[in-house]
């Protein structure tokens, strides 16, 4: 695509400001690697500057490389454009297939001479919203994005307001959209993590979206401008069985390419019950020193395939905490039987774990409540178990009593007696008795002495 160098200063300023936003804390992430089969592992060379990988079943973040760094998303922007349309139609495919719209010159004028990707839709050519979505997501049609925007809203800026409202709703805190296609970079930025949030929402909420994004090709139906219809081809070559970049576990989602963005890609992949999403941004447009007549090297596809292979073959679903396991005992005072109760986790903890990291490297910290006094009831929270790796917390779970412990009546009576004799009230009572005894004794001695003196005086007379 044509370079937009005159915007580079503005983009740099926008991204600098955006990057000041707080970076979300995630679970421990890893460095993908390959293995020689004999225990030796080598980190994978990744070309993308920002990488995010998530287990879409558990939400575990497996790879986080600059995932919260605001960057130019290029045509990944069109995922948000698609979501706004699907929200508008409440994902009703029949309504989208039967509602025809067209674009006037406003949808095309800004695209001329830019080298924008296209599905060859013409001004005033009637196209259904479903076909526009296919054109948007497969060949990354920029005119389809503008036609959608100008028919859902009266202006493109107003459509962008809908995009940004949706971003706010989804918690895409480091994203802002200023156009519907991603061709222009001014005030148009996002992050790998935000794009993962958006794509996950789209796939889980709109079956039509999931259906469209995994199509390798699609035939736009005939129109007056295209009486034979139009074959459109997905720019994601990981879906193309004839491509060197084909990888069968991948089922979509969207490419993006722009000078200021590099090569960007969102994909989802499934194999043997493992379901992952990868978002990459900032891969090189081509290899350094490449000749003009050479085919470009599509580094984003290379990165995704390498990361998927690591995840599918080297990440093992691992039970770190079994909910039925007995962790430790805690002392219970005044128990009817015994002097302790066993504790177990309130919930289990399971996540993918690399096969080159020993589970013995996981540190367990147990914190128990002090001065536990009967009665104790099954399920009472009496402690906490924390797992960490290399100083980073993996999880914390409550430790609960596995059984109830009754209070001992004998022990309670002894405790009451002991507590009474050591109480402040008892000490005051004893003090008062001693004081009264001393006072009475002193008074008695005084009376005896007075009587003795009086008797002696009488005898002297």
Q: How far is CA 313 from CA 43, 90, 317, in A?
A: 14, 38, 11
Q: How far is CA 416 from CA 248, 273, 274, 340, in A?
A: 74, 61, 60, 21
Say which CATH number the domain at 25 has.
3.40.710.10
On whether residue 241 sits in a domain, the answer given is: yes
Span 128-160, pLDDT tens digits:
999 999 999 999 999 999 999 999 999 999 999
233 contacts: CB under 8 Å, gap ≥ 6: 138, 139, 216, 217, 240
Residue recorded with tokens 């990459």: 280
Cα 374 from Cα 2, distance rounded (Å):
76
Q: Single out the residue in 315, 340, 369 at which a domain terminates.
A: 315
Q: Single out the residue in 294, 315, 336 at which a domain terminates.
A: 315
Longest dimension (CA), the chain: 155
Same domain, 196 and 282: yes
On whether residue 243 sits in a domain, the answer given is: yes
State yes or no: pLDDT of 459 exceeds 80: no
On whether residue 410 sits in a domain, the answer given is: no
Looking at residue 421, what is its pLDDT?
64
Residue recorded with tokens 């992430």: 29
On whether residue 298 sits in a domain, the answer given is: yes
Same domain, 332 and 446: no
Say which CATH number the domain at 334 has.
2.60.410.10
Same domain, 172 and 25: yes
Same domain, 238 and 341: no
On whether residue 120 sits in a domain, the answer given is: yes
Comparing 80-84, 162-166, 273-277, 457-461, which segment has the lowest mean pLDDT?
457-461
Looking at residue 419, what is its pLDDT?
63
On whether residue 409 sits in a domain, the answer given is: no
pLDDT band, residue 24 (cuts 50/70/90): very low
Same domain, 279 and 389: no
Cα 421 from Cα 405, distance rounded (Å):
27
Q: Single out the residue in 289, 315, 341 at which a domain terminates.
A: 315
Do the Cβ atoms of 217 and 233 come closer than 8 Å? yes
Comparing 19-28, 271-280, 312-321, which segment has the lowest mean pLDDT?
19-28
Same domain, 267 and 350: no
Same domain, 82 and 27: yes
On whether residue 417 sits in a domain, the answer given is: no
Looking at residue 307, what is its pLDDT?
98
Beta-bridge partner residues of 258 = 262
Report cis status (omega within 30 of 0) of the bond before 65.
Answer: no
Concatenate the DSSP letters of all residues of 85-144 into one string: HHHHTTT-HHHHHH-EE---GGGTGGGTTTT-----PPTT--EEHHHHHHHHHSS--HHH
Same domain, 103 and 246: yes
Q: CA 192 from chain center: how many Å?
A: 11
Q: What is the mean pLDDT of the chain?
A: 89
Going by the DSSP 8-state scheme, the letter that residue 71 receives in this structure is: B
Span 37-49, pLDDT tens digits:
787 999 999 999 9
Cα 183 from Cα 140, distance rounded (Å):
11
Span 180-194, pLDDT tens digits:
999 999 999 999 999
Cα 174 from Cα 188, distance rounded (Å):
11
Which residues form the domain of 438?
423-460
Same domain, 230 and 366: no
On whether residue 415 sits in a domain, the answer given is: no
Same domain, 209 and 290: yes
State yes or no: pLDDT of 161 exceeds 90: yes
Same domain, 17 and 97: yes
Same domain, 169 and 193: yes
State yes or no: pLDDT of 15 exceeds 50: no
32 contacts: CB under 8 Å, gap ≥ 6: 43, 44, 46, 63, 306, 307, 310, 311
State yes or no: pLDDT of 318 exceeds 50: yes
Query: What's the total number of domains in the chain?
Result: 3
Q: How far is CA 122 from CA 115, 226, 230, 235, in A?
A: 16, 9, 12, 21
Burial 384-398 (b: 16+ CB within 10 A, else e): bbebeeeeeebbebb
Residue recorded with tokens 């900032």: 282
């Amino acid at each position: 695509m044509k370079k937009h160098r005159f915007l580079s200063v503005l983009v740099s300023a926008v991204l600098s400001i955006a990057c000041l936003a707080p970076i979300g804390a995630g679970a421990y992430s890893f460095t993908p690697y390959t293995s020689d089969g004999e225990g030796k592992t080598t980190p994978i060379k990744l070309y993308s500057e920002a990488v995010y990988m998530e287990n879409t079943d558990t939400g575990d973040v497996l790879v986080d490389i600059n995932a919260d760094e605001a960057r130019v998303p290029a045509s990944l922007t069109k995922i948000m454009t698609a979501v706004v349309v699907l929200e508008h139609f409440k994902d009703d495919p029949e309504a989208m297939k039967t509602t025809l719209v067209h674009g006037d010159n406003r949808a095309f004028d800004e695209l001329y001479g830019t080298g924008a990707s296209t599905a060859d839709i013409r001004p005033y050519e009637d196209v259904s919203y479903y076909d526009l979505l296919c054109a948007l997501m497969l060949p990354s049609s920029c005119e389809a994005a503008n036609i959608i925007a100008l028919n859902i809203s009266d202006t493109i800026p107003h459509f962008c307001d809908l995009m940004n409202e949706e971003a706010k709703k989804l918690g895409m805190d480091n994203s802002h959209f200023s156009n519907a296609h991603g061709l222009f970079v001014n005030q148009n930025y996002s992050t790998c993590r935000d794009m993962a949030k958006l794509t996950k929402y789209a796939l889980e909420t709109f079956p039509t979206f999931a259906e469209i994004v995994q199509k390798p090709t699609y035939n736009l139906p005939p129109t007056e401008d295209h009486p034979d219809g139009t074959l459109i081809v997905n720019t994601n070559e990981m879906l193309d069985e004839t491509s060197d970049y084909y990888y069968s576990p991948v089922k979509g989602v969207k490419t993006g390419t722009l000078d200021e963005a590099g090569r960007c890609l969102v994909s989802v992949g499934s194999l043997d019950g493992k379901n992952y999403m990868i978002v990459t941004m900032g891969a090189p447009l081509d290899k350094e020193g490449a000749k003009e007549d050479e085919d470009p090297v599509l580094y984003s596809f290379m990165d995704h395939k390498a990361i998927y292979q690591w995840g599918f073959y080297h990440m093992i679903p691992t039970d770190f905490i079994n909910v039925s396991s007995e962790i430790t005992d805690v002392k219970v005072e005044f128990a009817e039987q015994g002097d302790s109760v066993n504790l177990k986790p309130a919930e289990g903890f399971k996540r993918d774990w690399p096969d080159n990291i020993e589970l013995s490297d996981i540190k367990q910290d147990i914190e128990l409540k002090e001065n536990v006094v009967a009665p104790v009831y099954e399920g009472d929270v009496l402690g906490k178990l924390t797992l960490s790796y290399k100083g980073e917390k993996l999880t914390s779970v409550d430790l609960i009593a596995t059984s109830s412990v009754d209070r001992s009546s004998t022990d309670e009576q002894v405790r009451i007696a002991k507590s009474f004799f050591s109480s402040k009230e008892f000490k005051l009572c004893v003090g008062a008795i001693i004081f009264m005894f001393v006072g009475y004794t002193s008074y008695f001695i005084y009376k005896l002495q007075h009587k003795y003196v009086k008797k002696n005086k009488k005898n002297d007379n």
